[in-house]
Amino acid sequence: MGVSYSGRFDVIVVGVGGMGSATAYHLARRGRRVLGLERFGIPHAMGSSHGHTRIIRMAYYEDPSYVPLIVRAYELWRELQRTAGEKLLYTTGSIDAGPPESWVFKGSWDSCKLHDLPHEVLTGAEVRRRYPGYRLPPETAALVQPDGGFLVPERCIVSYATAAQALGAEFHAHERVLEWEPLHGGVRVRTGRGTYEADKMVVTAGAWDGQLLGFLGGLAVPERQVLAWLQPLRPERFRLDNFPVFNLLVEEGRYYGFPVFGVPGFKFGKYHHLEEATDPETVDREVHDRDENLLRAFAERYFPEGAGPTMNLQTCMFTNTPDHHFVMDLHPEYEQVSFASPCSGHGFKFASVVGEIMADLAEKGTTRHPISPFRLERLLRPGARRAPGPDAGRDGAVRPFPRAGAVSPPW
């Protein structure tokens, strides 16, 4: 392409998706000279930060330890809306539902009680009467939390990148990082277009984290994911005002979905889809009949009036840790390097606060945020336990974080 660059910066951010764009903004806001390097476009549809909508929810069945972070994430998303002058966060309410003893329902209920979040508990029959697009089994237990909704991910990334540029940050898209090396008091990064040095480096490269940080091999595993958009047969039942976003545990697995927004179709997917571990360089980006059939069968059973003709099918990637929880930390050998994982398929909603955390770690190696449960060390312990993931039962019998009610994690 004939373009070459070089330069010295305070911080280099590798990967300008949801978390990288937020990190660059928070650093630039603090007066740091920032370079953001992105191997694709800004934004792009090759990783984990696309798809028109991403769920955000206060009730957090994965563990109550996430709730303080999500409270701050909401504050920062609303701050970004004001800065950008456009709506990025839409409130629809959220439903977390499953069998009464399931970890999805009980975990959400526990987090609401522990953190005093407004909520209601409904049966499947009551959900159907209130939100007629739903057809949950009558015995289902559903936690309804009014603050849930969704973010518009591509616009969030653009808004953070634009705001960071206005503060002096520099971004280079279509510039792949080939290698990096530690220096005394800094790092050197070589790309296909140049060589740069900086005091600090932050890696937020999603599914490519493991390629850039060897110690994440086997600890940050990309997984192919597929989403469907189906035309509702009764579109009036899938609007923003009467169709909350959902997380639903049923006998077919764990699913999530959204009202119609932005593009035609009721959007939904299955967590961990076909459980296909992959390589980000060779992931199958085509959508096949088996993908569509799996998703359509779910919609026909639980959202039959949303199961009309297919409008779109897309792939993306999760990147899973062994326990399906986040990992955010300093490099185990080089304290001038910090990193954040793409968070096992439930991270975009936290991108705003993760950006703040990563800016803290880059500046001073610590943060005021409660991230001790998300440190790397826990994954390196012998016998580290798994969180409920694709292999978890309906009762969520495996769980590495403290049970609800334990205010402080044990690590």
The yes-or-no answer on residue 50 being catalytic is yes
Output the pTM of the full model. 0.92
Structural domain span for residue 362: 5-49+154-218+324-380
Structure-token pair, residue 78: 């609303």
- Considering the domain architecture, whether residues 212 and 272 belong to the same structural domain is answered as no
Tell me the per-residue pLDDT of 113-161, one tens digit each, with 9 for 90 and over.
Answer: 999 999 999 999 999 999 999 999 999 999 999 999 999 999 999 999 9
* Domain CATH number, residue 45: 3.50.50.60
From the list 23, 26, 52, 53, the catalytic residue is 53
Residue 190 lies in a domain: yes
- Considering the domain architecture, whether residues 65 and 145 belong to the same structural domain is answered as yes
pLDDT range class, residue 381, cuts 50, 70, 90: confident
Cα gap 20→13, rounded to integer Å: 6
- Considering the domain architecture, whether residues 284 and 227 belong to the same structural domain is answered as yes
- Considering the domain architecture, whether residues 130 and 69 belong to the same structural domain is answered as yes
Helix (H, G, I), strand (E, B) or coil at 360: helix
From the list 26, 193, 272, 325, the catalytic residue is 272
Backbone angles phi, psi at 99, to 5 degrees: -55, 150
The yes-or-no answer on residue 267 being catalytic is yes
Residue 408 lies in a domain: no
- pLDDT for 403 beyond 60: no
From the list 50, 224, 254, 270, the catalytic residue is 50
- Considering the domain architecture, whether residues 126 and 228 belong to the same structural domain is answered as yes
Residue 403 lies in a domain: no
- Considering the domain architecture, whether residues 113 and 213 belong to the same structural domain is answered as no
Cα gap 340→327, rounded to integer Å: 6
- Considering the domain architecture, whether residues 146 and 238 belong to the same structural domain is answered as yes
* Structural domain count of the chain: 2
- Considering the domain architecture, whether residues 227 and 134 belong to the same structural domain is answered as yes
Residue 66 lies in a domain: yes
Whether residue 244 is preceded by a cis peptide bond, meaning omega within 30 degrees of 0, is no
Residue 260 lies in a domain: yes
- Considering the domain architecture, whether residues 173 and 312 belong to the same structural domain is answered as no
Give the residue carrying structure tokens 């939390």: 145
From the list 32, 237, 278, 316, the catalytic residue is 316
Residue 339 lies in a domain: yes
* Domain CATH number, residue 257: 3.30.9.10
From the list 39, 52, 128, 267, the catalytic residue is 267
CA distances (Å), origin 247, targets 59, 321, 358: 11, 20, 28
- Considering the domain architecture, whether residues 89 and 208 belong to the same structural domain is answered as no
- pLDDT for 407 beyond 50: no
- Considering the domain architecture, whether residues 248 and 127 belong to the same structural domain is answered as yes
Tell me the per-residue pLDDT of 315-346, one tens digit each, with 9 for 90 and over.
Answer: 999 999 999 999 999 999 999 999 998 789 89
pLDDT range class, residue 35, cuts 50, 70, 90: very high
Residue 397 lies in a domain: no
- Considering the domain architecture, whether residues 172 and 192 belong to the same structural domain is answered as yes
From the list 29, 32, 52, 54, the catalytic residue is 54
The yes-or-no answer on residue 54 being catalytic is yes
Length of the chain: 411
CA distances (Å), origin 34, targets 7, 158, 200, 292: 11, 16, 10, 42
Residue 29 lies in a domain: yes
The yes-or-no answer on residue 349 being catalytic is yes
